[in-house]
Amino acid sequence: MRVAAFTDLTGPDGVSILDRPTPEPGPGEAVVDVEAASINRHDLWILEGADTRYDDDDLPFVSGLDLAGEVRSVGDGVTGVSPGDRVVLCPNQTCGACQFCYEGPENLCESFTLFHGGLAEAALVDASRLVTLPENVSMTHAAALPTAYMTAYHMLRRADVGPTDLVFVPGATGGVGVASIQLAGVLGAETVGTSSSQAKLDRMEDIGLDHAIHSTDPDEIESAVRDVGTPDAVLNHLGGEYTQLGLGVLRRGGRMVVCGGTAGRYSEVDVPGLFLKHKQLIGSTMGTQPDLETLVDLVADGSLVPEIDEIYPLEETGAAFEAMQNRDSVGKLVVTT
């Protein structure tokens, strides 16, 4: 089988197509013939050498958290799925033995890690992490869901967002950003979001963004958000200076959920502004497998159409990463085999 492997951690040029033996499933495992995989900034950081957990000793490295396809074979003891089933993978990997695995939510697992290996024609996975797909959910839509949409959905749950809420999403145009806007809309909330690109914001109108702010200047963004209203929740995947910006505009008692630090690993926080107004700052990573099942249901019943910017053949995986690096895209970038 072919894989799109990282062979140099130098950016998009470091992706190569290699031949690998097709895996065989062991007990509790399944092999999935991957039809579609989507990329995330997490993969890009590994590819750029910016994630210190990965180095040249890990090469060649097959990344890709999000995959959908058809089950090719299953190992001993697998009862949940059978060869021929259409499935999407929940990339969560948990120990099954800690307090959080017993009591939930599973994404708090003390040994929480993520699956990698979707950028390939076949993937060896934990069969219990496969969610079956109804016929009317396409493989490309399913592959868009796991990381971006599951994370955004879990953040909306942590922020307790409901109808009548105003949700602020700095950086509304990427994987998590677009997912946040669409899913806030599904919950009946109103949205305000930002981008450095007016062309991308023009596309966001059709995707459901209610109020677009074309700026990267914190003061300008703050005043534009205030013109719209006082957000009940902020979904923050940018970190850096966007954390204080989001906290500043949040209503008394409002909630900011943070899942990423694209714009900066460290943020300065006005501490009295946080406690005097009872604001909540909440960290969140990924979501739960039931979150992913809910998302599949939302796609199946037509409430959610995952936004896909472009679909690339496996051999052009490097070009997909280049589009992400250049901030060219709106929504998800999908690779098909």
Ligand X SMILES: NC(=O)c1ccc[n+]([C@@H]2O[C@H](COP(=O)([O-])OP(=O)(O)OC[C@H]3O[C@@H](n4cnc5c(N)ncnc54)[C@H](OP(=O)(O)O)[C@@H]3O)[C@@H](O)[C@H]2O)c1
243 binds, among Zn ion, ligand X, none (CB under 5 to 8 A by kind): none
Task: Candidates 49-57, 133-141, 165-173, 301-309: pick the segment binding ligand X (CB under 6 A).
Answer: 165-173
Site for ligand X in 167-186 (CB under 6 A): 171-177
Which are the contacts of 266, defined by CB distance < 8 A and separation ≥ 6?
Answer: 239, 240
Site for ligand X in 242-271 (CB under 6 A): 259-263
The string of DSSP letters for 4-28 reads: EEE-SSSSGGGEEEEE-PPP---TT
Binding mask 307-336 for ligand X (x = CB under 6 A): -----------------x--x---------
288 binds, among ligand X, Zn ion, none (CB under 5 to 8 A by kind): none
175 binds, among ligand X, Zn ion, none (CB under 5 to 8 A by kind): ligand X
CB of 90 to Zn ion, least distance (A): 15
| DSSP character at residue 143 | H
CB of 315 to ligand X, least distance (A): 22
174 binds, among ligand X, Zn ion, none (CB under 5 to 8 A by kind): ligand X
Task: Candidates 10-18, 40-48, 86-94, 184-192: pick the segment binding ligand X (CB under 6 A).
Answer: 40-48
Site for ligand X in 111-140 (CB under 6 A): none
CB of 101 to Zn ion, least distance (A): 3
The tokens for 309 are 């910017």
Site for ligand X in 206-245 (CB under 6 A): 237-238
The answer to whether 98 contacts Zn ion (rule: CB under 5 A) is yes
**Sequence-ordered strand ranges (E) for 196-254:** 211-214, 233-236
Contact criterion met (CB below 8 Å) for 334 and 88:
no
Contact criterion met (CB below 8 Å) for 29 and 64:
no
Task: Return the closest-CA partner of residue 281 out of 159, 185, 121.
Answer: 159
Task: Return the closest-CA partner of residue 326 out of 41, 2, 8, 26.
Answer: 41
CB of 195 to ligand X, least distance (A): 3
CA distance 333 to 259: 20
Rounded alpha-carbon distances, angstroms, from residue 5 to 18, 120, 310: 7, 8, 20
Contact criterion met (CB below 8 Å) for 151 and 287:
yes
Of residues 41 and 255, the one with the C-beta less far from ligand X:
41
The answer to whether 94 contacts Zn ion (rule: CB under 5 A) is yes
CB of 138 to Zn ion, least distance (A): 33
CA distance 56 to 53: 11
Quick one: 24 exposed, middle or buried, by C-beta within 10 A (0-12, 13-18, 19+)? exposed
CB of 327 to ligand X, least distance (A): 3
Helix axes 175-186, 198-207, angle to 10 degrees: 30
Cα-to-chain-centroid distance, residue 22: 27
CB of 289 to Zn ion, least distance (A): 13
116 binds, among ligand X, Zn ion, none (CB under 5 to 8 A by kind): none
CB of 114 to ligand X, least distance (A): 8
Binding ligand X by CB under 6 A: which of 36, 90, 286, 314?
A: 286
Q: What residues make contact with Zn ion under the rule CB under 5 A?
A: 94-95, 98, 101, 109
Q: What residues make contact with ligand X under the rule CB under 6 A?
A: 40-42, 147-148, 151, 171-177, 195-197, 200, 237-238, 259-263, 285-286, 324, 327
